[in-house]
Amino acid sequence: MQFELGDVVKLKKKHPCGSFEWEVLRVGADFRLKCLGCGRQIMIARSLVEKNVKEIKKPLDSK
């Protein structure tokens, strides 16, 4: 899977606020994700993101 800044990823488990969707703010060995429901930001290992992602939505202005 190819992740880029600005992508919206849908994870298998929902955040306590009820949202499944997260915006990718940083890509590397760790990811920084921002919850689109409540705005909370988390750092999470790449392996956990790759294992738990259901869908990747690319921004409309990407090529």
Distance between CA atoms of residues 45 and 32, nearest Å: 9
| Whole-Å CA distances, 6 to 16, 22, 33 | 22, 10, 10
Confidence of residue 1 (pLDDT cuts 50, 70, 90): confident
Distance between CA atoms of residues 63 and 35, nearest Å: 24
**In 3D, which of 10, 4, 20, 22 has the Cα closest to residue 61?**
4
Higher pLDDT: 1 or 8? It is: 8
Beta bridge partners of 49: none
Distance between CA atoms of residues 9 and 11, nearest Å: 6
pLDDT in tens, 7-63: 999 999 999 999 999 999 999 999 999 999 999 999 999 999 999 999 999 887 655
